[in-house]
């Protein structure tokens, strides 16, 4: 089976529902059917319901940026994965902004990954070291802990329902003094991710997991990132808010695969 290339736009806390709908309208118009490229956007939760009625799922899919792991109950202000069933196809889980601003730990992340799978939503598990962790030589430990910790409630047979995204915190454009990751730096960590998966779940299961890269991706570096060995797609923040940049990256993905 040929693995798809994933181009995922994380809109973070941007766009009103109306703006999101206009963007989606334009994106759908610009997108032909790319069989091998899975285009996904992650709007605010409040926009998912209207956008799910508007989207053409033959062309692209929707992701939620966050949800709670319990399906119902006394959890004021939360939205559950079960409520999102049918609205979101994917869920971004464990993003560094959730880990560091909202104090989500690996246990919480693991429960969310399991809840997404239980509700037929594909989790995109984000992992990545901070600048100081890298400087102290802790990258391999952080990657292993976040990866294996985040997947701790996933059975071997469910591993093929998971996507992993490597997002070094120091490369995210909103990080103060963000740096641009080099293809070699990414290749090294992606190799580590695949080794950890193979050691824990076996070679056969681990090969089925798409690994994405995220961090200051733009139209001029997307091609280089997409050709890093073991990288199956991109998770894009800032550039996904600008339609022409996002469609340029999608075109690049198509070209790189051809
Ligand atoms: P940027 O592409 O703006 O660096 O954001 C990356 C990210 O956090 C996507 O989830």
The CA distance from 72 to 136, in Å, is 42
Average pLDDT over residues 29-49: 94
Note if 205 is an active site residue.
no
The pLDDT, as a whole number, for residue 33 is: 78
Spell out the residues 6+ positions from residue 177 whose beta carbon is closer than 8 angstroms to its own: none
- In terms of Cα–Cα distance, which of 78, 4, 93, 80 is closest to 42? 93
Candidate from 63, 238, 245 with most ligand 1 atoms within 8 A of CB, to mutate: 238
> What's the CA-to-centroid distance between 204 and ligand 1, angstroms?
30
Average pLDDT over residues 109-134: 98
Residue that has been written with the tokens 């909103």 in this structure: 174
pLDDT band at residue 177, thresholds of 50, 70 and 90?
confident
pLDDT of residue 32: 82
Pick the residue whose CA is nearest to atom 1 on ligand 1.
Answer: 237
pLDDT at 1: 64
pLDDT, tens digit (0-9, with 9 covering 90-100), for 138-166: 999 999 999 999 999 999 999 999 999 99
Report the candidate in 71, 66, 83 with the shortest Cα–Cα distance to residue 123: 66
Is 167 labeled as catalytic in the residue annotation? yes
Question: Which among 97, 129, 153, 167 is annotated as catalytic?
Answer: 167
* Structure-block tokens of residue 116: 């997404």
- CA–centroid distance, 74 to ligand 1, in Å, is 32
Which ligand 1 atom lies nearest to the CA of residue 172? 4
Please give the helix or strand (H or E) that residue 243 lies within, else none: helix 243-257
| pLDDT on residue 35 | 83
Q: Looking at the CA of residue 126, tell me the nearest atom of ligand 1.
A: 10
Which residues lie closer than 8 Å to 87 by C-beta, 6 or more apart? 48, 49, 52, 62, 64
| Closest residue to atom 7 of ligand 1, CA basis | 237
| Ligand 1, CB cutoff 6 Å, lining residues | 10, 95, 167, 172-174, 214-217, 235-239
Domain range for 215 is 5-256
How does DSSP classify residue 229?
T
CATH number of the domain bearing residue 176 = 3.20.20.70
Per-residue pLDDT reduced to its tens digit, 67-118: 999 999 999 999 999 999 999 999 999 999 999 999 999 999 999 999 999 9
Does position 205 have pLDDT exceeding 90, yes or no?
A: no
Q: Which DSSP string corresponds to 24-84?
A: HHHHHHH----TTEEEEEE--HHHHHHHHHH--TTT-EEEES--BSSSSSS-TT--BHHHH
The atom number, within ligand 1, closest to the CA of 97 reads: 8
CA of 166 to the centre of ligand 1 (A): 11
Domain count, the chain: 1
Q: Ligand 1 center to residue 5 CA distance, Å?
A: 18
Burial of 109 per CB tally in 10 Å (0-12, 13-18, 19+): buried
Ligand 1: distance of its center to the CA of 151 in Å?
Answer: 22
Q: Whole-number mean pLDDT of the chain?
A: 96
Question: What is the average per-residue pLDDT within 190-198?
Answer: 97
């Amino acid at each position: 089976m040929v693995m798809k290339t994933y181009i995922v736009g994380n809109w973070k806390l941007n766009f009103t529902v109306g703006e999101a709908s206009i963007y989606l309208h334009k994106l759908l118009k610009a997108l032909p059917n790319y069989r091998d490229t899975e285009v996904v956007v992650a709007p605010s939760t409040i926009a998912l319901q209207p956008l799910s009625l508007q989207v053409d799922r033959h062309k692209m899919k929707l992701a939620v940026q966050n949800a709670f792991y319990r399906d119902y109950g006394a959890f004021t202000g939360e939205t559950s994965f079960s409520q999102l069933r049918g609205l979101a196809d994917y869920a971004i889980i464990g993003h560094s902004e959730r880990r560091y601003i909202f104090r989500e730990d690996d246990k919480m992340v693991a429960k969310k990954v399991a809840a997404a799978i239980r509700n037929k939503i594909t989790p995109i598990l984000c992992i990545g070291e901070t600048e100081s962790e890298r400087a102290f030589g802790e990258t391999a430990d952080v990657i292993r802990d976040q990866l294996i910790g985040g997947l701790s409630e996933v059975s071997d047979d469910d591993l093929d329902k998971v996507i992993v995204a490597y997002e070094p915190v120091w490369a995210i454009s909103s990080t103060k003094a963000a740096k641009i990751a080099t293809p070699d730096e990414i290749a090294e960590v992606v190799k580590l991710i695949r080794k950890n998966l193979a050691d824990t779940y076996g070679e056969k299961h681990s090969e089925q997991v798409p690994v994405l890269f995220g961090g200051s991706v733009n139209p001029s570096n997307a091609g280089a990132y997409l050709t890093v060995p073991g990288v199956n797609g991109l998770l894009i923040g800032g550039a996904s808010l600008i339609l022409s940049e996002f469609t340029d990256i999608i075109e690049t993905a198509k070209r790189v695969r051809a």
